[in-house]
């Protein structure tokens, strides 16, 4: 019997969720978020399929599950796949020459984990604004689609959204996702400026601008695997 069946985890039913997902929350451990009506007896199989992700996300090394309540740590490296950048995270007091590598230095005033997480979160939002908004604007012009204002936010569940006024909001965590998946999210939201629903006409429009949208959409369902545990659940 897989040991995942014996893990201490919480289950949260979400009316907004389309698919089950795993979240590691500071001080609360593992939470399984499932859509309304999801058969909870399938959760052990879900955990087994996510074995590799669980081991990475929860720092589980002993094989006993003893570390499943461990508070996530500041990652040593921020892998920004969307823009092909790697940033080493270093403390101001421990800063050394990175040999030409990109370094994000935590200021001396950031002592606690919460302070460090907030500093990195604000930094990521600025990077996301710098890269994601111009990227969407380029796609807007190239694909002949038009949107209103574009904002980058730090969102818990949605990778992107489009309002009735055709204003688009993007999740700063998109930086952690592969480039092709992020492009699909941008195309997806731009198509919502024409069809503010998920009708057949909407998906036909998406397919014209992104023929590989079905694969990208499947990958997006598992995209939380690329987000460092420190930023899951917030």
pLDDT digits (tens, 9 = 90+) for 145-192: 999 999 999 988 899 999 999 999 999 999 999 999 999 999 999 999
- 4 versus 88: the higher-pLDDT residue is 88
Q: What is the mean pLDDT of the chain?
A: 85
**What pLDDT does 61 receive?**
45
CATH 3.30.2010.10 segments of the chain: 130-223
pLDDT digits (tens, 9 = 90+) for 3-18: 554 566 778 888 888 8
**What pLDDT does 109 receive?**
83
Give the whole-angstrom CA distance, residue 141 versus residue 138. Answer: 5
User: What DSSP string runs through 105-154?
Assistant: EEPTT--SHHHHHHHHHHHHHHHHHHHHHHHHHHHHHHHT---S-EEEE-
What residue spans of the chain are helical by DSSP H?
A: 43-49, 51-58, 113-143, 179-191, 200-209, 213-221
pLDDT digits (tens, 9 = 90+) for 182-216: 999 999 999 999 999 999 999 999 999 999 999 99
**What pLDDT does 112 receive?**
78
**What pLDDT does 172 receive?**
97
pLDDT digits (tens, 9 = 90+) for 48-62: 888 887 777 666 544
Give the whole-angstrom CA distance, residue 186 versus residue 134. Answer: 11
**What pLDDT does 166 receive?**
96
Name the superfamily (CATH) of residues 130-223.
Answer: Metalloproteases ("zincins"), catalytic domain (3.30.2010.10)
Q: CB under 8 Å to 178, separation ≥6 — which residues?
A: 81, 82, 219, 226
């Amino acid at each position: 019997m897989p040991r995942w069946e014996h893990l201490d985890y919480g289950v949260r039913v979400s009316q907004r969720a389309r698919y089950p997902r795993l979240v590691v929350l500071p001080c609360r451990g593992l939470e399984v978020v499932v859509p309304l009506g999801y058969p909870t007896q399938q959760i052990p199989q879900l955990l087994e399929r996510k074995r590799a992700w669980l081991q990475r996300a929860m720092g589980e090394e002993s094989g006993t599950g003893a570390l499943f309540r461990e508070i996530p740590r500041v990652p040593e490296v921020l892998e920004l796949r969307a823009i092909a950048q790697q940033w080493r995270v270093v403390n101001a007091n421990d800063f050394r020459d990175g040999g030409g590598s990109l370094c994000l230095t935590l200021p001396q005033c950031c002592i606690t984990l919460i302070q460090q997480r907030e500093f990195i979160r604000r930094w990521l939002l600025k990077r996301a604004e710098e890269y994601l908004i111009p990227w969407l604007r380029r796609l807007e012009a190239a694909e002949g689609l038009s949107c209103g204002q574009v904002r980058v936010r730090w969102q818990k569940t949605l990778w992107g959204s489009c309002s009735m006024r055709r204003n688009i909001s993007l999740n700063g965590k998109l930086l952690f996702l592969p480039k092709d998946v992020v492009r699909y999210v941008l195309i997806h939201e731009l198509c919502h400026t024409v069809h503010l629903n998920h009708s057949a006409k909407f998906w036909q429009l998406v397919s014209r601008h992104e023929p590989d949208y079905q694969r990208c959409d499947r990958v997006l369902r598992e995209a939380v695997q690329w987000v460092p545990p420190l930023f899951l659940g917030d």
